């Protein structure tokens, strides 16, 4: 069985080594091209470029395709240039610098992601798309036998997340979610300390996230309809979302402030801090039983309409309360009967700072250790073991954010059944677990 057939069948044999043998290594210890994992980038924009750079540093990976509905333009992070042709040049330049000739043109570009899915010679896809385009490519990739690195937030709706997770499981695919905080030492250690009772019995968890609708693309003042720029397939960008006139403030970066495509700061950060909260709570495979006291202030600067300020409480079966707020201190604060631990990117603290150095014993809870989110994904493609941020865990985490948005929109408490993933006794709210898709797109 060759490498590609092994990856496509998802066979997991204990005797298969996770280290590529020296015989397969090419120049300078790098695996020969025929033995590298071939990857396609779908979504050549902001986070797509960041993720691509993470994988370019892995000698086991070879980018062979890049796909985006935009050929090339400015309008991304702080007005920077991106798009499929821009990124294809970056990839070809990277590999050209590793060749004796200084030349390389082996990365193809596509406008339509379906052309990538039809290529049997691509092992895995890196999906860095707007939220409304997460579900369909994930399901198609899983059915095509490709492993997937997919950006957070996992899904646009709870129903889409369930369909995505089921497709990955049925087709025996490896899926790593871009919730990279799980590969950060502080976040893992904080969750281990909480899980091992260093702050006593857990009582509550407070998640602080950003407020507002920052103009990331420097295009927020261009909200009125404009002609679609040359080289941009706007109809394909909209895809399953409702028909809407083009404007720069709608695309590339600021899509996240429009409910048709995302869920605002609530979901943009919902794949990060609430995910860590669930990790520390030990509730990664379930969720709350109620969402209460939800309050939101929503943008009136059309087309932006997501919450600029927000608060909601998630109540769990074990009586732990999780709050998500735009007014709390940024990060995750675990509060117990004997103290607290707070953790955020690059920093952490505790009621007793000495407990941060507490040793975790051999017989205590040790959480999944990953020191590099990208390399962990490639390790798991080879070993066929679960990565540090698997899709079912990501689905359960982003469900918290989706429920919070729903509760704020209907302005009432929700009773949630985490086993059947249904809102009980509220038909209007329950109908918001999914959204209709514009023809001809569907999850089927």
- pLDDT tens-digit profile of 180-198? 999 999 999 999 999 999 9
pLDDT digit string (tens) for 79-132?
Answer: 899 999 999 999 999 999 988 888 899 999 999 999 999 999 999 999 999 999
> What is the model's pLDDT at position 26?
41
| pLDDT (mean) for 14-28 | 38
Residue 1 pLDDT class (50, 70, 90 cuts): very low
| DSSP letter, residue 131 | G
Overall average pLDDT of the 7-32 stretch: 46
φ, ψ of residue 271 to 5 degrees: the values are -85, 0
CA distance 310 to 288: 18
What backbone phi and psi angles, to 5 degrees, belong to 118?
-80, -5
Please, what is the average pLDDT of the chain? 93
pLDDT for position 427? 98
- DSSP annotation of 326 reads S
d(CA 269, CA 14): 37
CA atoms within 13 A on the CB side of 356: 15
Average pLDDT over residues 323-348: 98
400 within 8 A of 314, measured Cβ to Cβ: yes
What's residue 338's pLDDT? 98
Note the pLDDT of residue 31.
Answer: 76
Q: Looking at 12-16, 50-54, 223-227, 303-307, which range is the least confident one? A: 12-16
Beta-carbon neighbour count of residue 338 at 10 Å? Answer: 12
Give the model's pLDDT for residue 13.
Answer: 38
First to last CA, the chain: 31
- Crossing angle for the helix pair 135-143 and 158-170, to the nearest 10 degrees: 10
Model confidence band, residue 346 (pLDDT cutoffs 50, 70, 90): very high
pLDDT at residue 6 greater than cutoff 70: no
Please, which pLDDT band fits residue 2 given cuts at 50, 70 and 90? low
Q: What percent of the chain has pLDDT over 90?
A: 89
């Amino acid at each position: 069985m060759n490498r590609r057939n092994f990856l496509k069948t998802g066979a997991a044999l204990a005797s298969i080594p996770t280290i590529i043998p020296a015989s397969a290594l090419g120049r300078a210890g790098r695996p020969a091209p025929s033995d590298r994992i071939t990857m396609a980038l779908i979504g050549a924009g902001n986070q797509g470029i960041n993720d691509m750079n993470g994988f370019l540093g892995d000698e086991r990976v070879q980018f062979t395709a890049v796909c985006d509905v935009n050929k090339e333009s400015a309008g991304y992070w702080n007005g920077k240039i991106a798009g499929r042709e821009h990124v294809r040049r970056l990839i070809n330049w990277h590999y050209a610098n590793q060749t004796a000739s200084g030349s390389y043109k082996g990365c193809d570009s596509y406008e339509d992601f379906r052309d990538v899915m039809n290529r049997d010679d691509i092992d895995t896809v890196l999906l860095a798309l707007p939220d409304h385009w997460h579900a369909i490519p994930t399901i198609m990739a899983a059915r095509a036998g490709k492993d997937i690195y997919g950006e957070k937030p996992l899904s646009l709706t709870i129903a889409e997340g369930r369909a995505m997770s089921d497709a990955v499981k049925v087709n025996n695919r490896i899926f790593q979610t871009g919730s990279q905080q799980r590969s950060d030492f502080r976040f893992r250690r904080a969750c281990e300390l909480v899980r091992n009772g260093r702050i006593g019995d857990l009582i509550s968890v407070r998640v602080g996230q950003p407020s507002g609708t920052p103009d990331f693309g420097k295009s927020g003042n261009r909200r009125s309809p404009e002609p679609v720029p040359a080289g941009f397939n706007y109809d394909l960008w909209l895809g399953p979302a409702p028909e809407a006139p083009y404007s720069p403030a709608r695309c590339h970066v600021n899509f996240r402030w429009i409910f048709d495509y995302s869920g605002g700061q609530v979901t943009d950060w919902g794949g990060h801090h609430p995910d860590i909260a669930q990790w520390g709570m030990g509730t990664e495979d379930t969720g709350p039983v109620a969402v209460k006291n939800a309050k939101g202030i929503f943008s009136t600067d059309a087309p932006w309409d997501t919450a600029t300020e927000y608060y909601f409480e998630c109540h769990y079966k074990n009586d732990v309360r999780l709050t998500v707020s735009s007014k709390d201190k940024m990060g995750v604060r675990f509060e117990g009967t004997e103290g607290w631990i707070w953790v955020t990117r690059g920093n952490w603290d505790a009621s007793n700072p000495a407990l941060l150095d507490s040793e975790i014993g051999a017989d205590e809870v040790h959480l999944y250790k990953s020191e590099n989110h990208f390399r962990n994904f490639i390790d798991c493609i080879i070993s066929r073991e679960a990565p540090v941020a698997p899709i079912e865990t990501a689905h359960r985490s982003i469900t918290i954010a989706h429920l919070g948005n729903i509760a704020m929109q209907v302005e009432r408490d929700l009773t949630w059944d985490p086993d059947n993933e249904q809102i009980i006794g509220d038909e209007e709210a329950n109908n918001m677990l999914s959204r209709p898709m514009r023809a001809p797109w569907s999850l089927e």
